[in-house]
Structure 1
């Protein structure tokens, strides 16, 4: 139903974001081509995603947040894309499989990120003191806790939009 835009067919306001994506990835993913129907959503997601990449969470921990949201929201395209990202980061197959299958992670520090992400989602941010302390006890910071919220917001938008456009 949603148009898979090209650089020529996309709304003019989406073209800059699309060109930036092609430059960054070397191609235009179908999800981006479909999200281009809304320049504001596309630009907002790409900006938030880039900002999330600059947080103090380490790259694998960020991907744990993303994959937890993507698997929970059943966004196949996000799970596939971020599986590739985890592989490029050198993540082991067991970690990737566990995230894809929504199973506990062997790495306690990363499992704390996964559990905290799920708790933020479950409680709509009203995480209890015990759950917050459990997250912090694994070497994470208050800043990291807020960065998890940022990742959840960014990738909830992405997963919902990707599912809507059937990316």
Structure 2
């Protein structure tokens, strides 16, 4: 997984609620209030209120899908490792740890290797297949996904998660967002 940051990320400052463009301030205040600190990834993404707002809206929609919590985290970590977003890897490792996910699952996700849980491995494989085919998966691939209890609705929901985490992983890499102190132990 590549972890190099943008060589000159000075174009993307760590905004505060006060220094951010006005349209980004409410979102940053909400994030800071919820998390107790303002993550650099959000602070830098706030350079474009539209990008910050777009990610937050897409992520909220993804979180409301019928995919279960662990499946959503498998998708997020698969995207994070695939796209080399060290911030996302740390953040989602922290979330999985808080969810008391199997340590072997977390290790495999971080390494990009097959998961010990077949149902969750079906999610990981499906995400990678959707990406590899630009969404044009064959019937066998869709059947392999649904054979593990997932639905055609879940298959479409995977595309929403891919969209949300493509935006965040690429924005984090572009801005050179560092891993914040509270997440350092998960880096």
TM-score, normalised via structure 2 length = 0.88
Does residue 123 (structure 1) correspond to residue 133 (structure 2)? The answer is yes
Deviation at 1:123, TM superposition (A): 0.5
* Count of aligned pairs between the two proteins: 167
Query: Structure 1 residue 90: deviation in Å?
Result: 1.2
After superposition, what is the alpha-carbon deviation per residue over 1:44-75, rounded to whole angstroms, capped at 9, x for unaligned?
10111111111111100000000000100000
2:152 and 2:85 mapped to 1: Cα distance? Answer: 28
In the alignment, the residues of structure 1 paired with residue 159 and residue 57 of structure 2 have an alpha-carbon distance, to the nearest angstrom, of: 16
Distance 1:131 1:66 in 2: 20
1:68 aligns with: 78
The gaps in structure 2 that reach 5 residues or longer are 1-9, 178-187
Stretches of structure 1 that go unaligned for 5 or more consecutive residues are none
Task: Establish whether residue 108 from structure 1 lines up as the match of residue 118 from structure 2.
Answer: yes
Structure with more relative contact order (C-alpha pairs < 8 Å, separation 6 or more): 2
Match of 1:155 among 154, 158, 165: 165
Cα distance in 2, alignment partners of residues 105 and 114 from structure 1: 8
TM-score, normalised relative to structure 1: 0.98
1:55 counterpart residue number: 65
- Write the deviation string for residues 2-45 of structure 1: whole angstroms up to 9, x where unpaired: 11101111000000110111122121001101001000000110
Q: Which residue of 102, 109, 114 maps to 1:92?
A: 102
Distance 1:33 1:5 in 2: 5
State the 4+ residue runs in structure 1 displaced beyond 3 angstroms.
none
